[in-house]
Amino acid sequence: MADDRVNALQRVREEVGRCRLCKLGTGRASPVPGEGNPASAVMFIGEAPGFYEDRQGKPFVGPAGQLLDELLQFAGLRREEVFITNVVKHRPPGNRDPEPDELEACEGHLRAQMSAISPLVIVTLGRFSLAKFMPNVRTMREVHGRTFPYQGMLVCAMYHPAAALHQQRLRATLEQDFRALPMIIARARASRANEPANGSGPAAAPEQSAEQMPLF
């Protein structure tokens, strides 16, 4: 099982390395497929690689990544224990927002990573990641810290750490949301443990209807 996960993630890594499904892959950007614990209970999904990530081929290694490392401590987690990736795997030029066709083109890679890891909890960092799961949410303020069921997992919406670099008041909000993560993981674990063996049972502790989760 552990080997299956490692192999599946390695396949995604190799596919991302040669991917030209959107124009981001034909620029000079380096692939940043994501990395971390293949058996992680939590998967963090950000927006896109930036300058530092592009140079190192690793996710969240710039200032926002340093803040993410600090925030993980509020959840009692270390970076090596979790899996971190983005909705697009190549850096958009000039750090612009990923465009709709790029988000759609890269979806298969993200889906493959989610399938390989099968985390208990997915933490969306920022609006582009959240939009994959909740396309109709207008502002992060409405939903940050809340969880939504998706295919036996809980999706937890959070601000992108970069937002707190620009708006200091959001740092306390992020800290508070990260502090709640252990409880959310425990809820998701208990729910999965109670699922029938065939996995067809209800999703974990819904706060919102699964019909509002049109992802993939």
Binding site for ligand SF4 (CB under 6 A): 16, 19-22, 24-25, 88-90, 102, 105-106, 109
Query: What number of other Cβ atoms are within 10 A of residue 173's Cβ?
Result: 18
Closest CA relative to residue 176, chosen from 145, 148, 207: 145
Cβ closest to ligand SF4, residue 70 vs residue 107: 107
Chain Cα centroid distance, residue 19: 20
Cβ closest to ligand SF4, residue 40 vs residue 86: 86
Shortest Cβ distance from residue 90 to ligand SF4 (Å)? 4
Cβ closest to ligand SF4, residue 84 vs residue 164: 84
Shortest Cβ distance from residue 201 to ligand SF4 (Å)? 33
Query: What number of other Cβ atoms are within 10 A of residue 59's Cβ?
Result: 27
* φ/ψ of residue 10, rounded to 5: -65, -40
Cβ closest to ligand SF4, residue 80 vs residue 104: 104
Residues in Cβ contact with 72 at an 8 Å cutoff, skipping those fewer than 6 apart: 78, 79, 82, 178
Shortest Cβ distance from residue 24 to ligand SF4 (Å)? 4
Shortest Cβ distance from residue 209 to ligand SF4 (Å)? 30
Position with the least CB separation from ligand SF4: 25
Pull the structure tokens for residue 203.
Answer: 């999703």
